[in-house]
Each structure stands twice: as structure tokens, then as C-alpha cells.
Chains A and B, each alone.
Chain A
Amino acid sequence: MRKHEQSTRRRFLSLAGSATVVGSIQLVCLRAADATPATLASSIRNVVGPAPVRTGKISLEVPPLVENGNTVPMTVSVTSPMTSDDYVKSIHVFNEKNPQPNVANFYLSPQAGRAQVSTRIRLADSQKIVAIARLSDGSFWSTSVDVVVTLAACTDEVI
């Protein structure tokens, strides 16, 4: 019974992703080498360097309760006038418990007009997501959001 449910879900997922050609092989997830709070902190340091990171200016919108971790809408925006003297250079998004700490890096220009980017991400577990903005004056601003995921991405176990 359980096996049958899972195979229909797989079929649905493989149909949903139009680029998918792996419908017939069973896919399961490697659970080793997850990102940890420590790797999160070190990957943030890789981007920021020794500079201080302050909270504020940036906001991260993710639904607080996510049903399906395979596709989670995310919008990140920064309060900035976006002029050639004062603009957002880049926005970096990190996670705590996916296999890799990085989610995405976005590089903006003063012509953006509005420092806001939306995308859809994967979450392998309930966890904290961190967004950091680098401004043209060299300062860094961060925010974090806690998300509860009911159906995690990539957690099909071996049957």
C-alpha cells in the first residue's frame, strides 16, 4: 500500500518536471554531509570576510509553514534608493540544513530600480534561512527566517 502511494507520487513528480526523463528509476536521497550551523557560518564568512554584519534593511519572505519542500517561493528585498552612489551590489541566500549551505547569489546593478528578487527554492528540512545584502558602501545587512517543512525535499528513503 505504502509502496503504491510512493510510486504514484514519484510518477506525479516526474510528470510535473517537464525536463525529467528519469521516471522509471527509483530515486532516493543521500542523507550524509548535511550543512550544519557551523558550515552555514563559515560560508557566510567566505562572502562577508571580516566585515561586521548588521541586521536590518533586508527582508526575506518565505511561507512560515511549507507543505512541499521541493518548491518553496522566496522573495528577498532590500530597502535601498538604488542610485549610482547607494545601491545593493549583491544578495546572498544561505540555509542551515540542506546538503549545501548556499542557496543562491544575486548580483544587482544600480539600474535595477528596486532591489527585489524572487525565486523558488528547495528545503530538505525545517530550518533557518539567512539572507545577506552587500551594499555599494561595503556594509553588510542580514536577516533570517525560520521555516517549518512538512514534506521535505529529497527525503525518499530506501524501501
Chain B
Amino acid sequence: MPSALINVPARAKRGDVIEIKTLMSHIMETGYRHTASGENVPRDILTSFSCRYNGVEIFRADLFPAIAANPFISFYTVASQSGKFEFEWIGDKGFSETASASITVE
């Protein structure tokens, strides 16, 4: 089962720069490995990650096989208003997962 870990401060002062940390469990199989019998292990990676803050996209990433298993991504944003962060991961074999976190801005 895919599972996401999100770390967003629950409260922040208006205008503060806050760090958002995300981790999605995923094998990130590169597609460059093969079994002892010579069969290629097909690629199975996350290709895209995005974050929206109250509906507006604030961060997006294209991911490649060079990203380690269980991709961890952290980035920053300005806490402008109370609301919701929505995260989305898209990958090979129809992988699609979402997660969200809310923040109170004073």
C-alpha cells in the first residue's frame, strides 16, 4: 500500500517562510536492472510530484530513475493564508496518490 508522510507546520505567522517535507513510499525501480536469469526488471518510478496551496500550484517536480527509493522532497513556501496544501504523486503503471495537510495562518 502506498503511504505518504507529510510534514507541514500546523500554525504559522503571516509572511513566514515555512518548510514542507514530503515522503512517498515507492520502490522507484530504475528499469536498468535485470534478474540473474537475464530478464529486465521493468521501470516503475514516480515521474511527477506537485503541491497546490489553496488550489494554486506552488511547486512541481519531474522525477527520474536517479531519485532514491521512497522519494523525499522538501521545499519552502510563504504562509500567506490559512488553508490546505494538496500533494499529488504520479508514476508508472497508473500510479496516482494524493495527500493533504492544513495550516492555520495568524
Counting CB contacts under 8 A, is A100 at the interface?
Answer: yes
Counting CB contacts under 8 A, is A65 at the interface?
Answer: no
Tell me the number of A-to-B contacts counted with CB atoms below 8 Å: 133
Q: From A116, which residue of chain B is reached at the shortest CB distance?
A: B76
Q: From A30, which residue of chain B is reached at the shortest CB distance?
A: B32
Residue contact B36 to A28, C-beta cutoff 8 Å? yes
CA distance A21 to B44 in the complex (A): 12
Q: Hey, what's the 0/1 contact readout for A62-79 against B, CB within 8 Å counting as 1?
A: 000000001110000000
- With an 8 Å Cβ cutoff, the count of chain A residues facing the other chain is 44
Residue contact B70 to A104, C-beta cutoff 8 Å? no
- With an 8 Å Cβ cutoff, the count of chain B residues facing the other chain is 39
Residue contact B68 to A72, C-beta cutoff 8 Å? yes
Residue contact B32 to A114, C-beta cutoff 8 Å? no
Q: Which residues of B contact A116 (CB under 8 A)?
A: 75-76
Residue contact A27 to B66, C-beta cutoff 8 Å? no
Q: Hey, what's the 0/1 contact readout for B67-100 against A, CB within 8 Å counting as 1?
A: 1111111111110100000000000000000000
Q: Which residues of A contact B27 (CB under 8 A)?
A: 17, 19-22
Q: Which residues of B contact A37 (CB under 8 A)?
A: none
CA distance A54 to B67 in the complex (A): 26
Residue contact B59 to A29, C-beta cutoff 8 Å? no
Contact flag A107-B61 (CB < 8 Å), given A19-B26, A19-B27, A30-B34: yes
Which chain B residues in 15-35 approach chain A with CB under 8 Å?
A: 17-18, 25-27, 30, 32-35
Residue contact A100 to B61, C-beta cutoff 8 Å? no
Q: B78: which of A105, A107, A113 is its contact (CB, 8 Å)?
A: A113
26 residue pairs bridging A and B, Cβ less than 8 Å apart? A17-B27, A22-B41, A26-B36, A30-B34, A71-B68, A71-B69, A99-B65, A102-B62, A104-B61, A104-B62, A105-B62, A106-B59, A108-B58, A109-B58, A111-B53, A111-B56, A111-B78, A119-B67, A119-B74, A120-B67, A121-B66, A121-B67, A122-B67, A123-B66, A154-B30, A158-B36
Where the two chains meet, the residues of A that have a C-beta atom closer than 8 Å to any C-beta of B are 17-22, 25-30, 70-72, 95, 98-100, 102-109, 111-123, 154, 156, 158-159
